[in-house]
Structure 1
């Protein structure tokens, strides 16, 4: 395998927001990039094909085709697909090729995916993305884990990534990410539920004033608007991630009441977004209002409060 990562052919499984950002930044370095996404076989794949054409990304028809042509594979799909992607790529993976699992999956899922890839001659490394990708792009803080993590880290960082090894034991990086998500994704769900209910009762200003008094370092108006928009746009992916969070909790024998509730609230907003509540049906377009009240009012219009 070529030891100069800038000469690699990098295969991206998943060409959504994350995949496209990575592709853009890697192509700016002149790195050869290919991608596969299940959406390419549907009408939803049209924007993906357009993006690939603009940025010089080769699109493959199958996981196998991508794997057999790639020196390094990055899996960046929804949480529930982490193990299936490993299963689909592994039989065709090149000997000793790295497979970076970028997905927000439970430690148990990462360990299963690693076994599949490694048994087929690949070198599996788990990755845990520790904050929102768009502001940082390829430099998003990334924790690596597994026996091959130390070998991959300098190669990744030579490509512009900001990665560090957290443990040679699989599951540690994922557990760190999942436990953080209990708080972050849970806070998003709580803010949507709290602020929307407060809006219905006409007490939102008093609630926000009280929150500011307790947590003076947080701009709750701005944070509320950000949380509403992130969940509206990415609620489906977030709900799947939090179901993996719940599984992470369940794996230690603890019932994930908070995580399960968070997943349901995120999925509920995603269902409404898919139905066109926040924009044209079947699209992800919506009004990016700086005032969360605009979105809360749309939610409130969907149901009648109890008298």
Structure 2
């Protein structure tokens, strides 16, 4: 059965019902779009918030990738980077002929090319997607670069659905390479700020360090930016670490040793470990990692790392 002509009448399948998936579900459901979603957390101890959100917004939850793929005219894959190819493989066996598969994942060009081969080989239409900044402030309008031979075909439908997408290239890998190279800087800056500011706090020189940064880069509000960086990495460090491992692979595929990207991945993963250990509070608590001052979170790190408070 072919997809309805009007994209607003499509069934959109969301693989990954985390922060990004839930935001897309909310914005698409507000337009009356039918949504089916699946997530690895379903059936586990962390499924309750997903089911509550789905019930509140009228989202159908699928028990498997194949159940979702059999219904969807457009599949959006928004999972952790390491699952990019696995999700494409799982969906490929049940794709509706001609259905679109939009890969939102922060994966290397090589991973996107492998995923495309699986989807296109099963009769679907793979489209590479590169999300160019943090989703929450923009929601469905987050800047999105598209790549691959099917990208131009999907672009008008995405416009109708409310996305803010642009065609990057008909060649697979270009959009993802843009995203990955950008992440060397953005995710690297997050890691550097956390490391620099926390160490400065330990030595009691944080005010001098921040003042110096304001002098050198006066257009950046370092206090506000640092607090934002701390919060995002505390909450999403695990996902960021996986992305940075894909970034490191991207750099490696270019013939360079990814010292910066690899180090960033380690710092992001380390922050996720601290969060999982409860250093920043209970994740079930609404106040978890919500301090407007980065110093609060830096002090928590230092108290955990050096209980005696000494440098």
Q: Deviations over 1:269-301 (max 9, x none)?
A: 001101111112677851411111100000011
- Matching of residue 161 in structure 1 with residue 148 in structure 2: no
Question: Deviations along 1:74-119, whole A, 9 cap, x unmatched?
Answer: 0000111010000000010010100000000000000000000000
1:55 — aligned with what? Answer: 57
1:44 matched to 2:46? The reply is: yes
CA distance in structure 1 between the partners assigned to 2:286 and 2:266 by the alignment:
20
Q: What SS does the aligned partner of 1:169 have?
A: coil
Q: CA RMSD in A?
A: 1.3
Native 8 Å contact 2:235 2:289 kept in 1: no
Task: Find out whether 1:80 has 2:82 as its counterpart.
Answer: yes
Mapped to 2, the partners of 1:3 and 1:258 lie a distance apart of 46
Q: Is residue 269 from structure 1 mapped to residue 266 from structure 2 by the alignment?
A: no
Per the normalisation by structure 2, the TM-score is 0.96
2:112 is aligned to 110
Separation in 2 of the partners of 1:189 and 1:133?
A: 19
Q: Does structure 2 conserve the Cα–Cα contact (< 8 Å) formed by 1:64 and 1:89?
A: yes
Of 296, 302, 305, the residue aligned with 1:303 is 305
Structure 1: any 5+ residue segments left out of the alignment? Answer: none
Contact 2:234 2:289 in 1 (8 A): no
Structure-1 residue corresponding to 2:190: 188
Secondary structure (helix, strand or coil) at the match of 1:199 reads: helix
1:20 and 2:27 equivalent? no
Cα distance between partner residues in 1 of 2:23 and 2:33: 14
- Per the alignment, residue 134 of structure 1 pairs with 136
Distance 2:88 2:269 in 1: 25
Query: C-alpha displacement at 1:2, in angstroms?
Result: 2.1
* Local SS of the residue matching 1:157: helix
Q: Distance in 2 between matches of 1:306 and 1:74?
A: 49
**In 2, are the aligned partners of 1:275 and 1:281 still within 8 Å (CA)?**
no
Q: Distance in 2 between matches of 1:155 and 1:113?
A: 22
Q: How far apart in 2 are the matches of 1:281 and 1:142?
A: 30
Task: After TM superposition, give the deviation of residue 306 of structure 1 in Å.
Answer: 8.1
Q: Give aligned pairs, total.
A: 307
Aligned partner of residue 44 in structure 1, secondary structure: coil
Query: Residues 276 and 282 of structure 1 are in contact (CA less than 8 Å); yes or no, is this contact kept in structure 2?
Result: no
Contact conserved, 1:275 with 1:282, CA < 8 A, in 2? Answer: no
SS in 2 for 1:134: helix
- In 1, the alpha carbon distance for the partners of 2:103 and 2:289 equals 33
Q: SS of the residue aligned with 2:47?
A: helix
- For the 8 Å contact 2:107–2:247, the answer to whether it is kept is yes
Per the alignment, residue 64 of structure 1 pairs with 66
Tell me what 1:208 maps to: 210
- The answer to whether the 8 A contact 1:273-1:284 is kept is no
1:258-297 mapped onto 2 (5 Å cutoff): 258-280=260-282, 286-297=288-299
Q: What is the TM-score with the length of structure 1 in the denominator?
A: 0.98
Structure 2's unaligned 5+ residue stretches are none
